[in-house]
Amino acid sequence: MTEFYTSKRIDNSRLARPSASRWREYARRMAWAGALACCALLYTWQHFQDIQLRYQLEELQARQAQAMDLNQQLHLEAASLTSPMRIDAIARQQLGMTVSAPAQFLPATTDAPRDAYLAQRVPTQPAQ
């Protein structure tokens, strides 16, 4: 029996080896994709921070409105408590004070003794 050997030429000229330029291109694309992902994450983070700050701002504005209402109520209460008519009524009814006669009035001077007084307390009900 006879054997035949054939030699077949294989043309590898169309094959291209992965060169360094391909790896550089791949790295460049990955860098661009990473930068784009970082920008997207930064935008998303800023967006959610904005929403959170808006909620905090609304809460602070509501608290400020409550504080302003309370402040107004306290000013009205202070004005009613320092009303001269109220003070006069308390002085006459609860403390038993009376209006001083002109002869009882002594002008306050710097040489007056410290234990001097200008008004007397008159009891409204006799003691039993």
Dist. CA 53–CA 45, nearest whole Å: 12
User: Residue 112's pLDDT is what?
Assistant: 57
Q: How far is CA 120 from CA 98, 99, 123, in A?
A: 8, 10, 10
32 residue type, one letter: W
Domain of residue 90, residue span: 22-97
Dist. CA 41–CA 39, nearest whole Å: 5
Buried b (16+ CB within 10 A) or exposed e, 16-34: eeeeeeeeeeeeeeeeeee
pLDDT band at 102 (very low <50, low <70, confident <90, very high): confident
Dist. CA 34–CA 27, nearest whole Å: 10
Q: Average pLDDT in the 80-92 region? A: 90
In this structure, is residue 5 part of a structural domain?
no
pTM across the whole model: 0.48
Q: Average pLDDT in the 94-107 region? A: 78
Reported as a single tens digit per residue, the pLDDT across 16-73 is 776 778 888 999 999 999 999 999 999 999 999 999 999 999 999 999 999 999 999 9
In this structure, is residue 121 part of a structural domain?
no
Tell me how many domains the chain contains: 1
In this structure, is residue 60 part of a structural domain?
yes
In this structure, is residue 105 part of a structural domain?
no
In this structure, what DSSP letter does residue 125 have? S
In this structure, is residue 128 part of a structural domain?
no
In this structure, is residue 109 part of a structural domain?
no
Dist. CA 118–CA 91, nearest whole Å: 14
pLDDT band at 100 (very low <50, low <70, confident <90, very high): confident
5 or 79, which is more confident? 79
In this structure, is residue 72 part of a structural domain?
yes
Q: How far is CA 40 from CA 30, 46, 47, in A?
A: 15, 10, 11
In this structure, is residue 123 part of a structural domain?
no
The answer to whether 104 and 122 have CB atoms below 8 angstroms apart is no
